[in-house]
Structure 1
């Protein structure tokens, strides 16, 4: 990465010729931008279930030692709980069709991406976790140890796996009130399980009832998309596993964290000491109030806000941008990893954007020979 003190400049490249071409292009432009003098408020937003794919994180595993070290620690903790090796699965490109495999893998990736950002000197001021993303956020905050969080995510996902195929989840471009109106007579079979923006919700419940609800919406050209979940999370459909989940997490210990975290379950800031078994049992059942979390974060100190989505793919960036516009806030949202973009290139591109927005990395990203 090549930077300039005069202009918000960063060139991301894998070889010398591309750097030279980038510099020549830069020098031919008329530059009117000025790098902000003040650091923006930085938010890590951890995405929920979804976006995972075979071999995710494999390039970073072989190229970036801090990421690899964190993934190895997470893999040992998962293996102690389940008996299978995450590192072996990722390096072999094994499938992640089961909830009990996908969620621990996404959790480990998120913990390691967050640790990589912090190793680069990019520290969050506040964090939000969407659904299971809150488990990785709790580790990053220091409220849960890696071992405790691995037990949590593995036991939670194993129980959710027993429900796979019993429910669906759909993203719909409706406000919470409009979504409840659309549910209408199916209110005992379908529920609003996530409020992502003022105009976007997620519905969960019985597959046939969801098909009845979304069919007229699609005819009206209202955006509706079935999610690859297989489980109607954050709804009454998880009730059959709650007693076992509560019992399995009875020994979970938590402590106050170092970084403020907004709970999308309690709809308020928490210090992390709440993250014991009872919290995560309620977490599996209650709706995700992501839009409210974004509004509350944006209502904080005035100034620019920079959101970095921590996850395997850009799943929250669009919702964050919509919440930014609705709140009249100044800021941007960036993903860590992007579809069809090499992982290290994607991370470096976001690091370059973070620099241009006023955050200074403490060292260039390390790469193994």
Structure 2
């Protein structure tokens, strides 16, 4: 079992849920709680037989990859590298602007074909580099539709500049069909044979964009005919799930025969050979280049050549993902233990599972994903890492930032216990005699009250936050502050985003379980107000004479000492405080044990600028 958490309260919720559950299945949905999906007997002899699966167009969303960009240096490095390569090809838009600098969903252009496909490619390569830095390598690689560009690059058939050129030309030429009357419709629960029957007589208007599993297909073509097909399925097969793809285009359809797309694609990519590279300096990774690469155009892994003619076949023909996955499952040379989807959101997980069920495999592989829309990206990818067997955890821990710093082993023990939250950066004042301690007891309650945001203001701020998370485009939309948020549309994904927003804004923790219990905006505001009041009371509590004497003794060793009793951390952070002092020009970390609610940091004023 593993727990993924960012503060003590999250860990506490996970531990309570895991201990109170009657069986494993009842807590799988608890955020951050991970159970092993394998056992020693069923996986003996297997050593990370992983298949990397690269998705096609569809799962893009305006904030994909943003959290990892700011938290994982490897991910950020590759996004920046690909952004520079794409900038050489076009100046009308910048990858960094679309992925990182866009301020709202309404201002985002991520669903434009030319931007969506390039952005997905960049996120996929950055995710792959991150997985590799943790020691997770593929034995088999497969790409779905435009995901084959990332697969071909990772598999060693394209250089980075070639891959960026392919994804750019591929997406720009398809973009000519954007808003030209084409759409794409995904259907789950419809057998492929039945789907083919529906297309009889309409082949020049609608075609398969993808066959994802024996009971999952995607139609692509002219919107008018697709609307009729949607209505027909609604009336005759109401149990079938249907959804429109988030793209105003019709990929892999007859519309791709328009606007000279075929000729221009062949011309623009005529310099790309697409054969397996031998120059080690040109490939993405040597071990990845040794992996088997399967094509969803041919469903084979031999005699592949990703030249300009291949990319036209990829663009115009259906992505036969179902047949390819079944071929991989039947590959006797490499028994796959785990399918890992490399995408901004898991869109192929169900299709892979349906292929596994169809074949009735004796050994059932696990299926995991890298990211999930609107969920914490670090928590999601780390949870998936914990589901993989035989992870080299030593390699993972050495990718953490502090591990690369050259430090004296004698202080590593203390450095490993430094909390991971950011510095407070508040302006404090010098007080050599610790005089501030004697004034804290005066007018304590008035001081607390003046520093606490008024509850009416909290209600207004929560109201505005929830309305934004509901993605309401209706300017007249309203919420009832006394009515249950669940009854007004709050789901688990929105609740996760809301907990993060409240934590950042008020430095308090509101659990996900609490939000989903039917509470109102008024209830949340009162709980936040109560927690903030408690924090301020703790920070203003008096310090005993013994503690003052002890701190004064330490302070006397330096002429200038900075002391503050204001809360540097939230109540959820680790309670192992430390004192940093300067002794003989060496930085020394000392454990500081204080009674609950009192948090004091002492550091030399002479070194405060360098210390950050």
Do they superpose with TM above 0.5?
yes
Tell me if the contact between 2:329 and 2:336 (Cα under 8 Å) persists in the aligned partners.
Answer: no
Q: 1:332 aligns with which of 366, 371, 374?
A: 366
Aligned to 2:99: 90
Tell me how far 1:340 sits from its aligned partner.
2.4
Tell me how far 1:120 sits from its aligned partner.
0.7
Aligned to 1:210: 226
Tell me how far 1:332 sits from its aligned partner.
1.7
Secondary structure at the residue paired with 1:163? coil
Aligned to 2:285: none
Alignment of 1:319 with 2:351, yes or no, is yes
Aligned to 1:62: 70
1:279-322 deviation per Cα after TM superposition (whole angstroms, max 9, x unaligned): 11111111100001110110023755311111110111111111
Q: Distance in 2 between matches of 1:16 and 1:98?
A: 41
Change (3 A) 1:304 1:125: closer
Tell me if the contact between 1:195 and 1:201 (Cα under 8 Å) persists in the aligned partners.
Answer: yes
Aligned to 2:271: 251
Q: Distance in 1 between matches of 2:195 and 2:247?
A: 19
Change (3 A) 1:238 1:295: same
Tell me how far 1:237 sits from its aligned partner.
1.9
Q: 1:278 aligns with which of 309, 312, 320?
A: 309
Q: 2:196 aligns with which of 180, 192, 198?
A: 180
Equivalences for residues 60-139 of structure 1 within 5 A: 60-83=68-91, 84-93=93-102, 94-139=108-153
Tell me if the contact between 1:12 and 1:349 (Cα under 8 Å) persists in the aligned partners.
Answer: yes
Aligned to 2:386: 352
Q: Distance in 2 between matches of 1:217 and 1:225?
A: 12
Q: 1:149 aligns with which of 148, 158, 163?
A: 163
Tell me how far 1:238 sits from its aligned partner.
0.7
Instruction: Report the TM-score, using the length of structure 2 for normalisation.
Output: 0.55
Alignment of 1:294 with 2:294, yes or no, is no
Secondary structure at the residue paired with 1:49? coil
Instruction: Report the TM-score, using the length of structure 1 for normalisation.
Output: 0.90
Q: 1:47 aligns with which of 25, 49, 55?
A: 55
1:123-151 deviation per Cα after TM superposition (whole angstroms, max 9, x unaligned): 01101100011101111112111211111
Secondary structure at the residue paired with 2:274? coil
**Which of structures 1 and 2 has the larger relative contact order (alpha carbons within 8 angstroms, sep 6+)?**
1
Aligned to 1:12: 4
Q: Distance in 1 between matches of 2:190 and 2:116?
A: 28
Q: Return 251-260 or 277-286, whichever deviates more.
A: 251-260
Secondary structure at the residue paired with 2:78? helix
Secondary structure at the residue paired with 2:199? helix
Q: 1:307 aligns with which of 335, 339, 347?
A: 339
Tell me how far 1:85 sits from its aligned partner.
2.4
Q: Return 337-346 or 291-300, whichever deviates more.
A: 337-346
Tell me if the contact between 1:217 and 1:223 (Cα under 8 Å) persists in the aligned partners.
Answer: no
Alignment of 1:263 with 2:277, yes or no, is no
Tell me how far 1:275 sits from its aligned partner.
0.9
Alignment of 1:232 with 2:250, yes or no, is yes
Aligned to 1:341: 375
Secondary structure at the residue paired with 1:185? coil
Q: Return 246-255 or 55-64, whichever deviates more.
A: 246-255
Q: Return 214-223 or 309-318, whichever deviates more.
A: 214-223
Tell me if the contact between 2:51 and 2:336 (Cα under 8 Å) persists in the aligned partners.
Answer: no
Extract unaligned runs of 5+ from structure 1.
1-8
Q: How many residues align?
A: 358
Aligned to 2:509: none
Secondary structure at the residue paired with 1:184? coil
Aligned to 2:562: none
Q: Distance in 2 between matches of 1:262 and 1:86?
A: 28
Tell me how far 1:271 sits from its aligned partner.
6.2
Tell me how far 1:200 sits from its aligned partner.
1.1
1:313-341 deviation per Cα after TM superposition (whole angstroms, max 9, x unaligned): 01111111111111223112111111221
Aligned to 2:606: none
Q: Distance in 1 between matches of 2:13 and 2:249?
A: 49
Aligned to 1:4: none
Extract unaligned runs of 5+ from structure 2.
25-35, 103-107, 277-288, 403-419, 421-612
Aligned to 1:170: 185
Tell me if the contact between 1:261 and 1:271 (Cα under 8 Å) persists in the aligned partners.
Answer: no
Tell me if the contact between 2:64 and 2:373 (Cα under 8 Å) persists in the aligned partners.
Answer: no
Secondary structure at the residue paired with 1:111? helix
Aligned to 1:6: none
Secondary structure at the residue paired with 2:340? strand
